[in-house]
Amino acid sequence: MTMDEDRQGLAAEYVLGTLDAAERAQADALLLEDAEFSTVVRQWERRLGELNVMVAPVEPPAPVWDKIRDSIARASPATPMRLPELAAPAVAAQHGPSAEIIDLTQRMRRWRGLTVMTGALAASIVAIVVAREYRPDMLPADWRPKPQVVERVIEKPVEVVREVVREVPSARPAQFVAVFQKDEQSPAFVMSVDVEKRMVTVRQVAAERLADRTYQLWIATQPGAAPRSLGVLGNDDFTVRAALADYDPAVINNATFGISLEPLGGSPTGQPTGPVIHARLLQVTPAQNP
């Protein structure tokens, strides 16, 4: 078992239920990002799940079922936000071996499920953003990426979405995407990285906007290494920074990125001081051979 003791403990306590809200959010992010963590959590769910045999059954009120049935009836015939099925094996065959791509596909399915379930528009947007950059051909024509940058300004996370579309000549698709998951229903940020240009783009999706705090982006080049700041994110939904100029592409590919909540102006200590959410890069387009 390669997972460190702290992470083992986090997985076990996640299932036991004793983590606080921030730790639960961290574990939820790890569940999306880290297959081993996810396996360990499933093992704990199975181990401790036996205890539920002893819980006395309680009849839920009848209207509960009515509401569930009505919700699925509403969602079932036509789900406007539903994304098309992605054929994972075909993707792998087409682009060569890339576990990361398959991984992302599974994640997409998961999001799709969540999306339809919660009706959370914010989550849908992430799925679509990722799909646009990942398999544009899988999306309806209107959703396929055009040479544009799309700024999404979410005024209330699940209700009002305004899109501002600007023409950008010769925009290339991002090569990598990382998703920062605040919790299951709140993908907080989506980051795309153009490794060739060493350029980072962070879209603030459902992260709360706070007047007296800022979000700061970090990179840890290897597990356990002290994170280094890549800068403080602006208040815009769309932040571009040539922050990776010093890093080798191979290092970037394997790095872990974090976003932490800091006092205005950024961390006073040079290390994250607030709650951190992590993400790892996922390859979304194969290496180009011109």
d(CA 72, CA 79): 10
d(CA 87, CA 85): 6
d(CA 279, CA 22): 15
CB of 67 to other proteins, least distance (A): 5
Q: Tell me whether residue 112 or residue 203 sits nearer to other proteins (CB atom).
A: 112
Q: Please tell me whether residue 208 binds other proteins under the rule CB under 8 A.
A: no
d(CA 179, CA 189): 6
Q: Please tell me whether residue 60 binds other proteins under the rule CB under 8 A.
A: yes
Q: Tell me whether residue 68 or residue 240 sits nearer to other proteins (CB atom).
A: 68
Give the x-and-dash track for 164-203 against other proteins (CB under 8 A): -------------------xx-------------------
Q: Please tell me whether residue 61 binds other proteins under the rule CB under 8 A.
A: yes
Q: Tell me whether residue 58 or residue 250 sits nearer to other proteins (CB atom).
A: 58
CB of 71 to other proteins, least distance (A): 6
Q: Please tell me whether residue 48 binds other proteins under the rule CB under 8 A.
A: yes
Residues 6+ apart with CB under 8 A from 186: 120, 122, 123, 157, 205, 206, 207
d(CA 101, CA 107): 10
CB of 213 to other proteins, least distance (A): 18
Neighbouring C-beta atoms of residue 264, cutoff 10 Å: 10
Q: Please tell me whether residue 209 binds other proteins under the rule CB under 8 A.
A: no
Give the x-and-dash track for 94-113 against other proteins (CB under 8 A): ------------x--xx--x
Q: Tell me whether residue 27 or residue 154 sits nearer to other proteins (CB atom).
A: 27
d(CA 189, CA 14): 23
Please name every residue paired with 257 in a beta bridge, in sequence order, or none if there are none. Answer: 219, 279
Amino acid type, 235: N
CB 235 within 8 A of CB 209: yes
Phi first, then psi, for residue 116 (nearest 5°) are -65, -35
d(CA 215, CA 261): 5
**Which segment (9-17, 202-210, 230-238, 246-254) binds other proteins by CB under 8 A?**
9-17
Residues 6+ apart with CB under 8 A from 126: 111, 179, 187, 190, 205
Q: Please tell me whether residue 19 binds other proteins under the rule CB under 8 A.
A: yes
Q: Please tell me whether residue 7 binds other proteins under the rule CB under 8 A.
A: no
Select the residue interacting with other proteins from 3, 7, 24, 201 (CB under 8 A).
24
Q: Tell me whether residue 108 or residue 230 sits nearer to other proteins (CB atom).
A: 108
Write out the residues near other proteins by the rule CB under 8 A.
8-9, 12-13, 15-21, 24, 42-61, 63-65, 67-69, 71-73, 75-76, 106, 109-110, 113-114, 116-118, 183-184
